Chains A and B, each alone.
Chain A
Amino acid sequence: MVVPVNYYLGLSLALFTLGAIGVLIRRNILIILMCIEMMLNAVNLAFIGFADAFKAVDGQIFVFFVMTVAAAEVAVGLALVIAIYRNRATVYVDDLNILKW
């Protein structure tokens, strides 16, 4: 009846890898932010799987905090995207090479 915790961990690992691939190969900064969201979601899934396996609510509390941090990160990240777009008119990270010399 109960799904084993290993299944949740495997799915979480797969989703995390997908997000990491997206962060590494995409150059659109919006898609990179979305992939970071997906990685955070994968971590949340692992937390929930463990919380279910150990019958402890603490894992769910941590998911709550991760969601808060994700919301703050998205707000600041998208404000940065808007500021960059206003200054450089681009959303592609390989156009932002001013720190590289």
Chain B
Amino acid sequence: MEYLFYSLAAVALISGALVVFQTHPLRSALWLIVNFFAVAGLYLLAHAEFIAAIQIIVYAGAIMVLFLFVIMLLNLRQPEEELARPRLGLKIAGITVAVLSAVLIGMGLAKVVLKPVTELPVGLGNTESVARLLFTDYLLPFEVTSVLLLVAIVGSVVLAKAKLR
């Protein structure tokens, strides 16, 4: 179990680093799919089977296909243009800010005392328990989600339309 976690974590971290440091966005997108699959495996390890399936279907399926379509649609010819303008100082500053904020969050998290529950209730993480909670306690947020998706659909259609006036 631990070795499975370690190997999946290593895959997620390496593919995540490759997403950040690839020159062409197409390669970044492909490595991001690897990252999503590794994280889905970690969800499976944490008894979240439904979320793992949704992760693969929604993220690795729908969202990444959308990314790949847009990358192909834009037909980018000069992926090395970004490398021609290195701006090393800005990069070092960005990495420093990110790492320092991570240290800050980590110090905060390290102070949290966790008392994990040991006994497993029946059927945690399967679709039935998720659905029961989703359609009782979280019914209103679930319905608001549909409005959000409708707004996103209308917004993206309007934004990507040929003539804006």
Contacts and interface: CB of A to CB of B under 8 A. Distances in A.
Interface string B56-87: 00110011001100110110100001100100
A11 B15 CA distance: 13
A96 interface: no
Given A28-B82, A57-B124, A1 B90 contact: no
B1 A3 contact: yes
Interface in A79-93: 79-83, 85-86, 91-92
Interface string A39-78: 0010011001101111101101101110111111111101
A61 B138 contact: yes
A31 B28 contact: yes
B109 A75 contact: no
Interface residues of B, number: 84
A37 B16 CA distance: 11
A5 B114 contact: yes
B94 to A, nearest CB: 3
Contacts of A80: 159
A28 B121 contact: no
Contacts of A7: 5, 9
Given A25-B95, A61-B130, A64-B51, A92 B82 contact: yes
B133 A3 contact: no
Contact of B95 (A21, A54, A61, A67): A21
Given A3-B2, A37-B59, A76-B156, A45 B164 contact: no
Nearest to B9: A11
Given A5-B114, A34-B28, A45-B42, A69 B16 contact: no
5 contacts: A34-B19, A57-B129, A61-B130, A61-B134, A75-B66
Interface of A: 1-11, 13-22, 24-28, 30-31, 33-35, 37-38, 41, 44-45, 48-49, 51-55, 57-58, 60-61, 63-65, 67-76, 78-83, 85-86, 91-92, 94
